[in-house]
């Protein structure tokens, strides 16, 4: 499937009556209505890292395929050790990749190395450290129980067992599982194609000279890098001035080549916002006012059947809303699970009197002593705080009085895939 599933034009409608929508309610609505839009393909295991599993993957074989020794030592029949502390050695040995091939005679032991298939006639292994070798026999203390130092067949996984559920983003650890289960290919979702657009007469390319009233485009490189880091295919739509026809043409181009259009700025409900005006006229759009700081405005809708996600124009607000809203939304569209951010509770290293009504995300830095400090200012125009921080401090919707030592919820950047 390469197109969004059919959704009602009001799919992004939120319950009326509230001036601001709580963060959890908005996230819950997104989770409810969004589903995969990316198609599927089969790729070689060596090319599968970072891709999303399209369908449940089952093991093709048992792992291990046969019982094998967990140690270097001597393979024996446990019953033979009950009455004897000495056993003669059978000829040969068993090694990983070189099975013994013959049945071990009753009342004998056979030299065996780690990973070797257990030879017929044996059901336990006495490790080297518990054996005294006396020429053609071994001496040991006490009886050995059946199964000692043996890895049973299918101990790890059995043929037909689901080893990776659909929606798993494949990492190096999953490649090991797939290979051990017999897979050389895996069916994955095609990479979600995310188009990123910047608009505004005041916006100029990074590094360009600034005239009075102009700003550098900080959002587009940030959003392109975020989408790429999350494993998506990115399409840079560049920057478009506030010209409705040029914006329309760029959006049409995005709809023809991408699955999702990601914009920042110009997408609120204000009269001067050309993107939102076009969306209201030719597309479908819902404007959400989220009870969060920073990042209150959020726009969602469709342009030519492609999902449109409009983030705030302020770079700090765009960054925070991208982590909180765009990341899980894109993951769902890509066929993945809804990712919850990693959260740890740590002592605060700052003072803060928080008012009720909005969830706040402070730029925070976890210190070596395990405490988290907040950036020197909550001003959403201070972009430097994004680089200073190594995560976000999430303060709940209610009022709070935070002093040094108060437990707070810290969301490390690493938990957002950064």
CA distances from 220 to 46, 305, 408 (A): 31, 23, 31
Mean pLDDT of 58-64: 96
Helix 244-257 to helix 274-282 angle (10° resolution) is 60
CA distance 221 to 198: 10
**Longest C-alpha distance within the chain, in Å?**
96
pLDDT computed for residue 16 by the predictor: 62
pLDDT computed for residue 4 by the predictor: 45
* R_g over Cα of the chain: 30
pLDDT computed for residue 3 by the predictor: 46
pLDDT computed for residue 1 by the predictor: 39
Mean pLDDT of 309-333: 94
pLDDT computed for residue 305 by the predictor: 85
Domain limits, the chain? 23-38+191-333, 42-61+165-189, 68-151, 344-416
Residue range 257-314, pLDDT digits in tens: 999 999 887 655 554 567 777 777 776 788 888 999 998 888 888 888 888 998 988 8
CA distance 199 to 276: 11
Class of domain 68-151: mainly beta
CA distances from 104 to 78, 255, 296 (A): 13, 69, 74
Residue range 5-29, pLDDT digits in tens: 545 556 777 766 667 889 999 999 9
Which of 39-48, 324-333, 374-383 bottoms out in mean pLDDT, i.e. has the lowest?
374-383
pTM of structure: 0.87
CA distances from 341 to 24, 47, 338, 368, 392 (A): 13, 27, 10, 21, 10
Q: Among candidates 235, 242, 224, 330, which has minimal Cα distance to 278?
A: 242
Which of 94-98, 99-103, 283-287 bottoms out in mean pLDDT, i.e. has the lowest?
283-287
CB 91 within 8 A of CB 107: no
Of residues 284 and 362, which shows the higher confidence score?
A: 362
Class of domain 42-61+165-189: alpha beta
CA 234 to chain centre: 18
Coil vs helix vs strand at 33: helix
Tokens of 159: 């043929």
Considering the domain 23-38+191-333 in this protein, what is its CATH number? 3.40.980.10
CB 68 within 8 A of CB 116: yes
pLDDT at 203 over 50: yes
Which of 256-270, 330-344, 352-366 bottoms out in mean pLDDT, i.e. has the lowest?
256-270
Whether the CA torsion 291, 320, 224, 245 is positive or negative: it is: positive
Of residues 211 and 183, which shows the higher confidence score?
A: 183
Mean pLDDT of 40-48: 97
Determine how β-strand 40-44 pairs with β-strand 150-151.
unpaired
Hey, which CATH number is domain 344-416, 3.40.50.970, 3.40.50.720, 2.40.340.10, 3.90.1150.10?
2.40.340.10
Q: Among candidates 223, 190, 224, 192, which has minimal Cα distance to 34?
A: 192
């Amino acid at each position: 499937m390469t197109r969004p599933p059919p959704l009602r034009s009001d799919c992004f409608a939120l319950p009326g009556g509230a001036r601001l929508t709580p963060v959890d309610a908005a996230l819950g609505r997104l989770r409810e209505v969004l589903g995969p839009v990316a198609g599927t393909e089969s790729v070689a295991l060596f090319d599968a890292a970072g891709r999303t599993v399209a369908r449940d993957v089952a093991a093709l074989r048992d792992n291990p395929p046969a019982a094998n020794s967990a140690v270097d030592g001597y393979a024996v029949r446990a019953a033979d050790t009950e009455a004897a502390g000495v056993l003669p050695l059978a000829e040969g040995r068993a090694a990983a990749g070189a099975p013994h091939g013959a049945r071990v005679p009753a009342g004998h032991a056979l030299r065996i190395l780690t990973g070797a298939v257990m030879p017929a006639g044996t059901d336990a292994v006495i490790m080297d450290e518990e054996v005294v070798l006396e020429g053609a026999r071994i001496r040991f203390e006490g009886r050995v129980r059946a199964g000692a130092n043996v890895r049973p067949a299918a101990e790890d996984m059995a043929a037909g067992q689901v080893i990776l559920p659909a929606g798993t983003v494949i990492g190096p650890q999953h490649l090991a599982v797939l290979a051990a289960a017999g897979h050389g290919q895996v069916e994955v979702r095609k990479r979600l194609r995310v188009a990123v657009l910047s608009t505004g007469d005041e916006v100029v390319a990074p590094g360009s000279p600034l005239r009075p009233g102009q700003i550098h485009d900080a959002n587009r490189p940030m959003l392109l890098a975020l989408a790429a880091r999350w494993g998506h295919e990115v399409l840079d739509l560049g920057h478009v001035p506030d010209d409705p026809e040029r914006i329309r043409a760029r959006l049409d181009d995005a709809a023809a080549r991408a699955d999702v259009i990601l914009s920042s700025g110009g997408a609120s409900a204000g009269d001067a916002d050309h993107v939102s005006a076009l969306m209201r006229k030719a597309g479908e759009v819902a404007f959400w006012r989220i009870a969060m700081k920073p990042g209150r405005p959020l726009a969602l809708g469709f342009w030519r059947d492609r999902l449109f996600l409009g983030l705030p124009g302020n770079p700090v607000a765009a960054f925070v809303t991208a982590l909180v809203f765009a990341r899980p939304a894109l993951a769902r569209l890509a066929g993945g699970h809804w990712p919850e951010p990693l959260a740890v509770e740590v002592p605060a290293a700052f003072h803060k009197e928080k008012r009720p009504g909005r969830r706040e995300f402070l730029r925070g830095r976890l210190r070596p002593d395990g405490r988290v400090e907040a950036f020197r200012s909550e001003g959403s125009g201070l972009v430097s705080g994004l680089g200073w921080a190594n995560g976000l401090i999430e303060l709940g919707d209610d009022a709070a009085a935070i002093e040094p030592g108060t437990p707070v919820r810290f969301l490390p950047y690493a938990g957002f895939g950064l």
